[in-house]
Amino acid sequence: MEALLQYLGSFDHLTEDFVKDFQRVIKTNEFQKGHYLLKAGSVSEHMHYIEKGCVECYIGLKSMKETLWFMIEGEIAVFKNSFYDRIVSEGSIVALEDTRVFSISYTDLERLYEQHPFLERIGRKITEFYHKRSDIKSYILYPRRPEVRFDRFNKYRPDIVDRVSQKHLASFLGMREETLSRVMKEKQKK
């Protein structure tokens, strides 16, 4: 919980009253590798701060999926449209490693926004961070050449390359697993 409070505190000062109210509504959840934090077809009831582990956000069926992003320690996992608009999610979030998260429900978050208006500034700062991350994703995936896509991903997210399978990484980079394997072998030779 301390890491989450430090994360939030990096955006603005946290009052004692807020910390007490926050600690009352935050739940600790553990997900084994392969278990879902959110399944497509359901409404995202919770936003998750990852304390330990790695998750994959994807759309489509497991056999024909498109990986949208990976989240690791210190990051937030949520399908924003489903969570904020209270609609059925088209995507899923699955643990790629045993994962421990701190979760807050939509209702509890909205109540905290009402009770502690400064929290909206923190929410805006977090939203800005993830908007910038979306721009980075576009930059990574824009080039047609798989080598360039891999290099850009490795530049911005070297912390993930060795944590996820080539199958998952290839799905994110929009290439076949065989292509990614070839690209990685070529990079190791250099």
Phi, psi of 66 (to 5 degrees): -125, 115
pLDDT of residue 62: 67
Measured between alpha carbons, how far is 150 from 12 in angstroms, rounded to an integer?
35
pLDDT of residue 142: 81
What is the maximal distance between C-alpha atoms in the chain?
A: 57
pLDDT of residue 64: 79
Structure tokens at 64: 């024909």
- pLDDT tens per residue across span 154-179: 999 999 998 999 999 999 999 999 99
Average pLDDT, the chain: 93
Mean pLDDT for the stretch of residues 22-38: 97
Asked whether the whole model's pTM tops 0.85, one would answer yes
**Angle (nearest 5°) at CA 19 between 16 and 25:** 145
Domain ranges of the chain: 2-125, 142-190
Superfamily of domain 2-125: Jelly Rolls (2.60.120.10)
* pLDDT score of 95 more than 90: yes
**Residue 128: CA count within 13 A, CB half-sphere:** 7
Structure tokens at 119: 């929290």
